[in-house]
């Protein structure tokens, strides 16, 4: 992957948002200008700038430093060995509902096989060619080729029991005794499954099941991996502790059929992203510049470090992605001002920074067309996630007048466009506690080991090496099997590092830093 370098970054207290990077070459050829140390120092400069005051940064932003146009032509490349090192440490969660099996299969096809896959289905029926039984069998078939995979149905009673045992009662619907409906809920289940059954994987990504272009899916996964690799390089170079990192995808375009012209229009942003991004841009404006900085407010396709996924509270349904821009501002507040959201306080109140990378892909995003009602609900959910929680952010340095005006504007927009009526409030999303507060050992104990008696069509299935990696009576995350798996990982890594990476690693050791490949 070769990316254009971001032209700047904006810090908001503990949150640093990078300006969008763009994939400029999918399979770059290494040139002698692609010194990996060089790319590292470019991004690292930005990271450091991210810690400067907002005003200093905005002044610099208006005049990008010369560094950004250096010999690599303002680009930075990440090569296959680095991508693979991250991909083999990544779980991809695919939330799905009633998509045809062929469509979901296209998505799994596109996910690099080094990644484990968790298919979280909320399909309405089990039997038939597009029921969840068929979804599970399709995943099982992929995993016979060596991929690790897990299928879980959102309504599998054991999953609700597992959350209850973990102390996370709010995600369970009391009337049905099953996990609530919603994309956010499916992703939340996916995170808990990833932590429980793929404990050595350090990154988690999400890809919607209704993507129609498998090649786009491949690019999303590689773009995630490249983003993480760049941040690793950068922190190895600068000596800064690795941050919580999130990579959010802005699609190359969103093709839409135009019924008037009969043509396909390659529009830049979807109908809901356009609105949510507009308001987030007003929120994160610097020196009055309130356009085109946030391009990923609604990014259904995004990935983060596993640590970040476990320490973040998550919003329900379609509010989950916009809320991810607000949560880092809340969870890092100082302990006295730290805000409890729906009664949940974040567990870790520390000085760890959160870095958001926005990456525009080369491929388009083609998915199921939705009707106007759906878009109205997406607007309401997305704006509600910002509206109800942004006022609580105290450590961000955001201007309280800007926030108050923004909230009024969002409400007015939703009323004027029929997303809510004028006596209503924007919907307040349900917020689920961060999973590091949950008893995930009990969660896993209730669901059981992956090798025994699990069968996708019954609601839970494990396929490929994941089921053989668990010995009977495993005592959990530090079991001998896990240890040998991680030994295997590290020997793989040792054999795949290049001399440049070794050089970086040596530099980091001599500076007393965490080794790059730790
Ligand atoms: N497991 C599970 N449970 N999956 C769900 C549920 C649920 O209750 N509801 C929806 N999904 C899955 C769908 O099957 C689909 O694969 C994916 O989540 C996205 O849902 P869509 O209904 O296709 O959403 P969208 O295309 O309108 O919106 C997408 O893009 C937006 C950005 O434009 C979503 O990813 C949004 O979250 C995103 O903001
Ligand atoms: Mg969709």
User: Nearest C-alpha to atom 39 of ligand 1 is from which residue?
Assistant: 298
Strand partners, 475: none
Q: DSSP secondary structure string, 115-140?
A: SEEEEEE--S-SSSTTSHHHHHHHHH
- Per cent of the chain over pLDDT 90 is 59
Q: How far apart are CA 216 and CA 135, in angstroms?
A: 21
270 CA: nearest ligand 1 atom? 33
- Phi, psi (degrees; rounded to nearest 5) at 387: -55, -50
- Mutation choice for ligand 1 from 108, 183, 325, 365, CB with most ligand atoms inside 8 A: 183
pLDDT digits (tens, 9 = 90+) for 60-97: 443 333 333 343 568 899 999 999 999 999 999 999 99
Alpha helices in 51-182 (DSSP H): 54-62, 80-87, 101-110, 132-143, 157-166
99 CA: nearest ligand 1 atom? 14
- Mutation choice for ligand 1 from 110, 139, 188, 208, CB with most ligand atoms inside 8 A: 208
Q: What is the mean pLDDT of the chain?
A: 82
pLDDT digits (tens, 9 = 90+) for 321-335: 999 999 999 876 544
| pLDDT of 503 | 31
- Is the model's pLDDT at 242 over the cut of 50? yes
Q: How far apart are CA 131 and CA 39, in angstroms?
A: 47
- 3 state DSSP class of 399: coil
Is the shortest distance between the CB of 182 and ligand 1 below 6 Å? yes
Residue with tokens 């959350």: 163
Between 189 and 368, residue with greater pLDDT = 189
The pTM for the full model equals 0.86
- Is the model's pLDDT at 499 over the cut of 50? no
Question: Which band of pLDDT confidence, cut at 50, 70 and 90, is reported for residue 366?
Answer: confident
Strand partners, 355: 16, 245
| pLDDT of 332 | 61
Say if CB 112 and CB 221 are below 8 A apart.
yes
Strand partners, 91: 116, 204
Q: DSSP secondary structure string, 444-458?
A: HHHH--TTSS-BGGG
pLDDT digits (tens, 9 = 90+) for 1-16: 999 988 889 999 889 9
Question: Which band of pLDDT confidence, cut at 50, 70 and 90, is reported for residue 361?
Answer: very high
pLDDT digits (tens, 9 = 90+) for 294-317: 999 999 999 999 999 999 999 999
- Is the model's pLDDT at 265 over the cut of 80? yes
- Alpha carbon of 103 to ligand 1 centroid (Å): 14
pLDDT digits (tens, 9 = 90+) for 106-163: 999 999 999 999 999 999 999 999 999 999 999 999 999 999 999 999 999 999 999 9
Chain-centre distance for alpha carbon 216: 16
């Amino acid at each position: 992957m070769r990316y254009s370098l971001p032209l700047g970054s904006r810090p908001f207290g503990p949150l640093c948002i990078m300006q969008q990077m763009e994939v400029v070459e999918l399979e770059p050829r290494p040139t002698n200008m692609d010194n990996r140390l060089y790319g590292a120092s470019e991004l690292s400069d930005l990271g450091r700038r991210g810690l400067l005051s907002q005003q200093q940064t905005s002044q610099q932003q208006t005049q990008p430093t010369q560094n950004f146009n250096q010999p690599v032509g303002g680009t930075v490349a990440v090569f296959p060995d680095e991508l693979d090192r991250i991909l083999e440490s990544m779980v991809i969660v695919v939330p799905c509902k009633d998509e045809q099996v062929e469509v979901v299969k296209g998505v799994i096809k596109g996910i690099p096989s080094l990644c484990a896959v968790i298919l979280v289905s909320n399909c309405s029926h089990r039997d038939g060619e597009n029921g969840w039984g068929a979804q599970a069998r399709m995943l099982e078939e992929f995993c016979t080729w060596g991929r690790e995979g897990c299928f879980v149905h959102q309504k599998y009673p054991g999953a609700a029991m597992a959350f209850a045992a973990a102390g996370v009662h709010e995600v369970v619907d009391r009337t049905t005794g099953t996990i609530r409906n919603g994309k956010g809920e499916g992703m939340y289940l996916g995170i808990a499954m990833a932590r429980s059954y793929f404990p050595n994987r350090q990154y988690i990504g999400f890809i919607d099941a209704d993507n129609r272009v498998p090649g786009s899916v491949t690019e999303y996964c590689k773009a995630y991996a490249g983003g993480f690799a760049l941040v690793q390089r950068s922190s190895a170079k600068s000596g800064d502790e690795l941050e919580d990192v999130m990579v959010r995808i802005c699609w190359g375009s969103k093709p839409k059929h135009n019924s008037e012209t009969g043509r396909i229009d390659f529009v830049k942003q979807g109908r809901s992203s356009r609105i949510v991004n507009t308001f987030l841009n007003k929120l994160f404006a610097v020196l009055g510049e309130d356009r085109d900085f946030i391009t990923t407010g609604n990014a259904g396709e995004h990935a983060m470090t596993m640590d970040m996924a476990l320490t973040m509270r998550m919003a329900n349904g379609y509010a989950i992605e916009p809320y991810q821009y607000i949560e880092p501002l809340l969870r890092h507040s100082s302990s006295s001002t730290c805000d409890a959201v729906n009664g949940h306080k974040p567990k870790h109140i520390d000085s760890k920074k959160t870095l958001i990378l926005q990456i525009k892909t080369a491929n388009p995003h083609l998915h199921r067309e939705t009707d106007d009602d759906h878009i109205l609900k997406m607007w309401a959910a997305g704006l509600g996630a910002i509206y109800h929680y942004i006022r609580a952010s105290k450590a961000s340095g955001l201007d309280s007048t800007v926030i108050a005006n923004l909230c009024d504007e969002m409400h007015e927009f939703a009323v004027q466009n029929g997303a809510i009526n004028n006596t209503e409030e924007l919907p307040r999303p349900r917020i689920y506690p961060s999973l590091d507060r949950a008893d995930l050992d009990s969660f896993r104990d209730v669901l059981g080991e992956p090798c025994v008696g699990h069968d996708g069509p019954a609601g839970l299935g494990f396929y490929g090496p994941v089921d053989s990696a668990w010995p009977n009576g495993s005592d959990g995350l530090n079991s001998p099997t896990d240890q040998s798996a991680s030994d295997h990982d590290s020997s793989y890594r040792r054999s795949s590092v290049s001399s440049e990476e070794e050089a970086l690693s040596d530099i980091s050791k001599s500076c007393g830093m965490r080794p790059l490949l730790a």
